[in-house]
Structure 1
Amino acid sequence: MAWSLIPLLVLILFIAAIASQCEFKPGGPTAGPVPSFDIDAGLKYDAAELGFPIRHPEVPEDWQPNSGSRSIVSGGQGGDSSTVGFITPAGRYVRLTQSDAGEDELVRFVAGGARTATDTRVVEDHDWVVYGGEGVEALWVSDFGDVRILIGGSGDEAEFTTLATAAGRAEPLEP
């Protein structure tokens, strides 16, 4: 019975090789190219379409914008949100979400459940509430009055501070 499976296995490997769906890499997988996202166009569009101020933070040149999205935040004080993501030089993902939703709803929406505030930071005259804990992604949230800004991702504290600084200095885009 085992001898009858060998031709079948050879045929499967042959078809996979022809279709280029199989590859042998002794060193393991390697990182592919970072996707590109036109952050200028994305944020300008969101500024024109959403009913709250959208800021375009000036991050370091070596941070590559790689994603953007808009979502509806559900909950008691739900609203809309605009998110852009960056890959830092260290290869970590950091995202900035801007929303007219309440802080609790925004944190629940992004975190997928309730989180407890664990710390605070002051960056560029803005108070940032840190939602963290063991084994969970840190989230920083600040209330800019007309918009809540949330920073999350796999970045470290220095990268979060860099993005919080850029967000604090950014002026709202014209709709």
Structure 2
Amino acid sequence: MSDERQFIPLNISVMTVSDSRTEENDKSGQKLKSMLEEAGHQLADKRIVKDDRYQIRAVMSEWIANPDVQVIITTGGTGLTGRDGTPEAVEPLLDKIINGFGEMFRSLSYEIIGTSTMQSRAIAGVANGTFVFCLPGSTGACKDGWSKLISAQLDYRTRPCNLVELMPRLLEK
């Protein structure tokens, strides 16, 4: 962290992908909301979306098109079951994939859950100047993804570089 730079709060939307979660039992979505707010960011929107690629894309597209949303974080739908479709829904919307995110997430997860991490299809990318991170549905995965990867990259004070300082250049032609 650099003391010479000021923190820049971002507007972040959170999507819980689930056929069974409600606002009352959405622990992962609530955890993401509380962590981003504790870090000083603002919640732009939070929704629970059925594990259906077209419903996911509809909400994701709305947020990607909204210039007031700078970051989107999803939780859920990144596994291998027939209903897990978040990567398939999101990837066609991305302009660029941040390959290092999925690689680092699985590497960090390996230390906690061992070889089970190979079942994770966590991904990240950029769409229309908006950063998108897709995390597994467990609260632990959301906590680890935020605290060990995402939060530092969404903090302008992180050196030697961070995603915030790239934001003005994301839409360059």
TM-score range, shorter chain: 0.3 to 0.5
Q: Which has the higher contact order (CA 8 A, sep 6+)?
A: 2
Structure ranking higher in strand proportion: 1
Q: Which has the larger radius of gyration?
A: 1
Bigger helix share = 2
**TM-score, normalised by the number of residues in structure 2:** 0.35
